[in-house]
Amino acid sequence: MSSHRKPRPTSNNFTQRAVRAGLLAAGVAGVATAVPAQAATAAPQHAAVASDYVFSHADRAHHTQAKDSFTIRQYGNVNAAGVRNQANAVSAGCSADDECRSVALSFQIVTFAGARTHLNAVNLSDAANKKCTGCQTLAGAYQFVVSTPTPITFDGDTRGRLDDIHRRLDGLTRSSLPATELKSRVDGLAAEVSSVLHDAVARAPKGEAQPSVTLHRHLDGWPGH
């Protein structure tokens, strides 16, 4: 049986913008957004680059493979940022009588503040069944971009709530739930993260520009979408 791969859905929510020369290596494709102008600040500004990647590969020797990542990156004042989040899962060489299961999930939280910050945000996932009839393969990338007029630092309550979500993500990733139910449960955790971040932003110092929390979500996998 030849390799089977579903086409990746194309998001129409974001438009491509150029990033300052040299910020990211040439040839990296992705989805980009531009952050609205923020209130001016006397604090020093800089460029920020972040990349998080999760990969899982299941085969006849390792029938069940599951990996996840939950990262928090707080950059303060920046004038340009390039952030990338990616999850890839592969199941190869198994059969309906000898199934494989491969799960890769990546949650990335990035916060920054600054005047007219230019952002290039890449969020990708890909799940592939390679000669793997009946296998369950799921890759999910969730990227949370928090923009505020002035820098914020998560307090103990926010950190505690995020740590609890991280622990539950670990449990779901390594569970035996069917892929379709797993996707629904992980989406639920992503909604909780968004709620926690909105609460944190609501307590942040006010400025001329409105703070924002943006979720970039990309899921790919079998069975179903």
pLDDT tens digits, one per residue of 186-195: 999 999 999 9
Residue 16 has pLDDT above 60, yes or no: no
C-alpha 101: how far from chain center: 21
For 145-166, b where at least 16 C-beta lie within 10 A, e where not — what string? bbbbbbbbebeeebeebbeebb
The alpha carbon dihedral of 166, 49, 81, 15 has a sign of: negative
Amino acid (one-letter) located at 124: L
pLDDT digits (tens, 9 = 90+) for 82-91: 999 999 999 9
Is-above-0.75 flag for pTM? yes
- DSSP code for 168: H
- Of 36 and 117, more confident: 117
Cis peptide before 149 (omega within 30 of 0): no
**Two structure tokens written together for 155:** 């307090």
How many angstroms separate the CA atoms of 62 and 93, rounded? 11
Cross-strand pairs, 221: 138
Q: Which amino acid is it at 39?
A: A
DSSP-assigned letters across all residues of 78-112: EEEEEEEEEEEEEEES-BTTB--EEEEEEEEEEEE
What is the average pLDDT across 7-15?
39
Token pair, residue 16, equals 């491509």
CA–CA dist 206, 88 (Å, integer): 39
Q: What six digits make up the tokens of 70?
A: 């939950």
| Residue pLDDT, tens place only, 41-99 | 344 568 889 999 999 999 999 999 999 999 999 998 999 999 999 999 999 998 878 88
> Cα(189)–Cα(191) distance, rounded to whole angstroms?
5
Q: Is 164 helix (H, G, I), strand (E, B) or coil?
A: helix
CB atoms within 10 A of CB 96: 9
Strand ranges, E, within the chain: 33-34, 46-58, 64-92, 101-113, 118-130, 136-148, 212-222
Angstrom distances, CA of residue 62 to CA of 94, 170, 204: 10, 19, 46
